């Protein structure tokens, strides 16, 4: 990993699995173990004196995500929440097109700002938007499941049958 000096709103670190010759199989195994352990996993760091210091509990999921990406050969970047990214980077993060991100910003659904002719989005705003969309999708999935359990998808309603 390349050590970067960091402050609020900066790139903290980058892991390039190809350049760093990461053992992708080991990364996959450890990520799977961390996922299986979920909130019971405790990560420890061995100090110079040989002692063990626990890391915050929430780090296990983050480390698992980074290892899963590295196992797939993807470059992983750790960015602080205040970091601003371009609409292209935001689109890649959300899995949508750049013009869609521009429309989200211009409509006010996604917070962003203009820097000259360009738009910038804070990572915290991207995460908030992504979590909102995920909650909506989960609610819709639950609604569909309940509708299927009630048999509403078995036969078309009588008013639509000719």
CATH topology of domain 81-154: Multidrug-efflux Transporter Regulator; Chain: A; Domain 2 (1.10.1660)
pLDDT digits 0-9 by tens, 77-101: 777 777 888 999 889 888 899 999 9
Question: Does 148 have pLDDT greater than 90?
Answer: no
From 28, 24, 62, 27, select the one nearest 43 (Cα to Cα): 62
What are the residue ranges spanned by the domains of the chain? 8-80, 81-154
Strand order in the sheet with 118-122: 84-86, 118-122, 113-115
pLDDT digits 0-9 by tens, 34-63: 888 766 777 888 999 999 998 887 787 888
Poorest-pLDDT segment among 17-26, 59-68, 139-148: 17-26
CA distances from 49 to 43, 44, 45, 52 (A): 18, 14, 11, 9
Mean of pLDDT over the chain: 81
Question: Can you give the pLDDT at residue 161?
Answer: 60
- Whole-prediction pTM value? 0.56
Residue pair 124/131 in contact (Cβ under 8 Å)? The answer is: no
Helix, strand, coil in percent for the chain, rounding step 5: 50, 15, 35
């Amino acid at each position: 990993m390349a050590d970067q000096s960091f402050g609020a709103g900066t790139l903290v670190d980058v892991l390039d699995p190809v350049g760093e010759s990461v053992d992708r199989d080991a990364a996959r195994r450890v990520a799977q173990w961390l996922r299986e352990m979920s909130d019971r996993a405790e990560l420890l760091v061995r100090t110079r004196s040989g002692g063990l210091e626990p890391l915050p509990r929430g780090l296990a999921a983050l480390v698992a995500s980074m290892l899963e990406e590295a196992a797939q050969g993807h470059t992983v970047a750790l960015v602080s929440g205040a970091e601003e990214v371009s609409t292209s980077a935001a689109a890649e993060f959300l899995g949508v097109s750049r013009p869609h991100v521009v429309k989200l910003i211009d409509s006010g659904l996604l917070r962003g700002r203009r820097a000259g002719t360009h738009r910038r989005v804070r990572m915290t705003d991207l995460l908030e938007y992504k979590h909102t969309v995920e909650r909506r999708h989960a609610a819709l999935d639950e609604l569909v499941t309940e509708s299927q359990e009630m048999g509403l998808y078995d036969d078309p309603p009588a008013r639509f049958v000719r």
